[in-house]
Amino acid sequence: MAAPMEVALVSDAAGPLCNCSVWELHSGSALPGYRGGNTGPRGLALLGGEHLLGAQLGKSYINVWELQRKDQLQQKIICPGPVTCLTASPNGLYILAGVAESIYLWEVSNGNLLAILNRHYQDLTCLCFTDDSSHFLSGAKDCLALVWNLYSVLQAEPSQIPDPRHVWSRHSLPITDMCCGFGGPLARAATASLDQTAKLWEVSSGELLLSVLFDVGIMAVTLDLSEYHMFCGGMDGSIFQVDLCAWPVQRDRTFQTERENGKIFKGHRNQVTCLSVSTDGSLLLSGSHDETVRLWDIQSKQCLKTMNHKGPVTNAFIVLAPANMLNPDGKPSVPLPKFSKHLYGTESTDEQGSEGVTLRLGLHQQVMGRRKALGEGLHGVRGDGVGFSPQPDCCEWAAAPWGLVSSPCAVGEGPGALLGCGVMFSGQWGFLQWAQGW
């Protein structure tokens, strides 16, 4: 069986023919790119392995392509202002966009705008999810990095703005980039700033683990998969490799350029805007305002390949190519809905009724011999946030295009009872409500 193909997705600010170019990482061969518009910085994201999202540079909408239909836009998600950053949850269920100082959260299954978060004081610059989609991080020009619990955000009433789990305020100038490692809520996250520092944090506790001071402002940061090294892109075009396992352990370090010259990648002539490491940790991809993308051998610090572009590079990252990207006859398993411009729960009754049923999925646990869904995982099903998802052996189950669905069942008794059915989607249990008892 052939190994999964790694590809590089790259966008620039002035490409006249192609919004996002694609090329095979190891051979360097170009693959068909995605046409239409130009994507802004931190504005390119894969959604569920079936769609590509690109925040149009300087405009108030997000371009959406089906991965296999590269020459035709599927739709545009209209936003209230220019999108400054964009990301999608790894499980493919949610989209986050930064518009001015606000974070917009959409649910992919129905297109509902679930939340608008206003806890930053200046424009958003970057967003990222943890690998299990349970938390997301936001950075802005107000020098703050915030950690959000997704399920707490989903539970909040539309009139309330939930509190972030952590507020990181140790940067003194705008945050330019951030990334999150593996481990879900136990992961480590890195932030970069114009204050010439890159910092490493623990998501669960919010503790600062490491702060590294450089000679220049840092515009991009990433971690290798093993998290042995942190790579930081500078305003002068240099890329610095920081050893996270260095001894003795110091929380505050200064990167000595003269002493650590063997840990600097040199070749870009302008600021580095994006960094990404290959799956095996041997290759580093970098994009710059010098209109080039470079592929580096990490061990030797040699540049293996240079790709020239027509404008400053806004996005460049490495992914395992989804099947639909390489199969022109492939189709998304579920078509995308029309995404709402209005906050869910604030539209008129007719507008809400036209949206169809709403499915909430999340964390579940075994309680008193039955499967119960915690309120933080099953938002909006009952007023108290608790629902019941039936076991496979107590209902009849049938296959649906998106998962499994049970025969009708009731949750509770009397006026508070809910009529619906159990569902299983992407390995998670939930409850699909269509009526309430009397």
Quick one: 269 and 417 in the same domain? no
User: Is 349 contained in some domain?
Assistant: no
Quick one: 181 and 84 in the same domain? yes
Q: What is the mean pLDDT of residues 35-41?
A: 92
User: Is 14 contained in some domain?
Assistant: yes
Question: Picking from 55-64, 79-88, 200-209, 343-352, which range would have the lowest pLDDT averaged per residue?
Answer: 343-352
Highest mean pLDDT among 76-85, 336-345, 395-404, 412-421: 76-85
User: Is 342 contained in some domain?
Assistant: no
Quick one: 283 and 416 in the same domain? no
Q: What is the mean pLDDT of residues 113-128?
A: 96
Q: How many CB atoms lie within 10 A of CB 39?
A: 30
pLDDT of 127 above 60: yes
Quick one: 276 and 182 in the same domain? yes
User: Is 346 contained in some domain?
Assistant: no
Q: Phi, psi (5° rounding) for residue 353?
A: -65, -30
Number of domains in the chain: 2
Quick one: 373 and 322 in the same domain? no
Question: Picking from 11-20, 33-42, 426-435, which range would have the lowest pLDDT averaged per residue?
Answer: 426-435
Q: Which tops the pLDDT comparison, 437 or 318?
A: 318
Provide the pLDDT for residue 233. Answer: 98
Q: What confidence tier does 163 reach under pLDDT thresholds 50, 70, 90?
A: very high
Strand locations in 321-396 (E): 359-361, 364-367, 370-373, 387-388
pLDDT per residue as tens digits for the range 253-278: 999 888 887 899 999 999 999 999 99
End-to-end CA distance of the chain: 57
Contact in structure between 133 and 91 (CB atoms under 8 Å):
yes
pLDDT per residue as tens digits for the range 351-361: 444 444 444 44
Quick one: 238 and 387 in the same domain? no
Provide the pLDDT for residue 406. Answer: 55
Q: What confidence tier does 39 reach under pLDDT thresholds 50, 70, 90?
A: very high
Quick one: 322 and 369 in the same domain? no
Cis peptide leading into residue 248 (ω within 30°): yes
Quick one: 316 and 362 in the same domain? no
Q: Which tops the pLDDT comparison, 94 or 422?
A: 94
User: Is 255 contained in some domain?
Assistant: yes
Quick one: 231 and 319 in the same domain? yes
Domain containing 316 equals 6-326
* Average of per-residue pLDDT values in the chain: 83
What pTM does this model have? 0.79
Query: Is the alpha carbon torsion for 14, 16, 17, 23 positive or negative?
Result: negative
Provide the pLDDT for residue 277. Answer: 98
Quick one: 239 and 372 in the same domain? no
Provide the pLDDT for residue 389. Answer: 43
Q: Could you tell me which residues come within 8 angstroms of residue 160 by beta carbon, excluding any fewer than 6 positions away? A: none
User: Is 331 contained in some domain?
Assistant: no
Q: How many CB atoms lie within 10 A of CB 182?
A: 14
Contact in structure between 67 and 81 (CB atoms under 8 Å):
no
User: Is 88 contained in some domain?
Assistant: yes
User: Is 341 contained in some domain?
Assistant: no
Contact in structure between 96 and 88 (CB atoms under 8 Å):
yes
Percent of the chain with pLDDT over 90: 63
Quick one: 264 and 378 in the same domain? no
pLDDT per residue as tens digits for the range 93-110: 999 999 999 999 999 999
Quick one: 232 and 115 in the same domain? yes
- CATH code for the domain of 151: 2.130.10.10
pLDDT of 427 above 80: no
Q: Are strands 252-254 and 264-265 parallel, antiparallel or unpaired?
A: unpaired
